[in-house]
Amino acid sequence: MANPVTMTAPPRNRNLDQLQLLLPIMVPVLLISFIPLVRGIYIGFTDYELGGQINFSGLDNYRIMMQDRFFWRSMGVGFLWTAVVTALQIGLGMILALLLNQGLRWTSLYSVLMLVPWAMPPIVRGLMWRQIYSPDTGALNLILTQLGLIDNPINWLASFEWALPAIIVAGVWGEIPKAALFFLAGLKTIPGSLYEAAELDGASAIRKFRHITLPMMKPVIAAVVSLSFMWNFNAFGLIWILTQGGPGGLTRLPMLAAYEEAFRYGYVGYAAAIGNVMVIIISIFLFFYLRLQLKERTG
């Protein structure tokens, strides 16, 4: 009775097999990430306030946002912060990567040391920088007064002049390693023969960098800029620990503004709407930036 044919695997649909491989990971992503995400986006279109009911309110939140001075101000701060931190971290990260790529002694030791700031959670970095900036006991004031550069200690994080530069320094410090690490990996992929050929033609170091390193690194730079832009625009922990958005709202990044709307003032729907707008802004930026990059590469 036994039919040997049934023991061999039946001919099966290839698509079905692929689906089988994907499903076990898709289900948790859908249920744990996607549903809450969709719910969060939906809340941005409701009038949800703490203690209240959730009612659909269409574009009301966005209409209010158009005229919300506090929102626009925090967007301004957000762009300034994102642009400066991203630019500095790309520039300094590139310099660091080039140095590490010189084949100096102990390179692997430096690489590990370089990673330390990035290995710290933003909250810990924040606590550390708060110590450094402390007006009475901070290392920065101590060094500057001992060198005779300042007479009286400066309260860095509470000063209208210094708070923004202070958080930018702290932000850049923590993010350089990420850029440097990506760049170092990129530099390793550039064939040495290109440099040898350029040297035969008598190219200077700067020309070699401009005409070999930079073009070869373009895809890596594009990736790092995109990632950093997103990370920096969404920064929260570091700033929250250092200034809580003060003084006078000067360092209130969009994410801090959204947090305050929801948890301090109770406008959960409006806070979610701010989140939605941030996603749209990041998407638009990335769309144009990446399109530009890809065009240049193919062109």
Residues in contact with other proteins by the rule CB under 8 A: 7, 9-10, 12, 19-24, 26-28, 31-32, 49-52, 69-70, 135-136, 151-153, 155, 157-160, 246-249, 260, 263-266
E strand spans, the chain: none
Phi, psi of 249 (to 5 degrees): 75, 10
Nearer to other proteins, 76 or 91 (CB): 76
Give min distance, CB of 129 to other proteins, in A.
16
Give min distance, CB of 215 to other proteins, in A.
44
**123, amino acid identity:** I
Longest dimension (CA), the chain: 101
Nearer to other proteins, 152 or 189 (CB): 152
**234, amino acid identity:** N
Q: What is the spatial distance between Cα 205 and Cα 213, in angstroms, rounded to a whole number?
A: 10
Nearer to other proteins, 176 or 253 (CB): 253
What is the signed CA dihedral for 50, 267, 43, 235, rounded to 10 degrees? -120
Give min distance, CB of 10 to other proteins, in A.
8
Nearer to other proteins, 8 or 298 (CB): 8
- Residues 257 and 239: beta-carbon distance below 8 Å: no
Give min distance, CB of 31 to other proteins, in A.
5
Nearer to other proteins, 28 or 165 (CB): 28
Tally the residues of the chain: 299
Give min distance, CB of 25 to other proteins, in A.
9
What is the signed CA dihedral for 211, 215, 216, 219, rounded to 10 degrees? 170
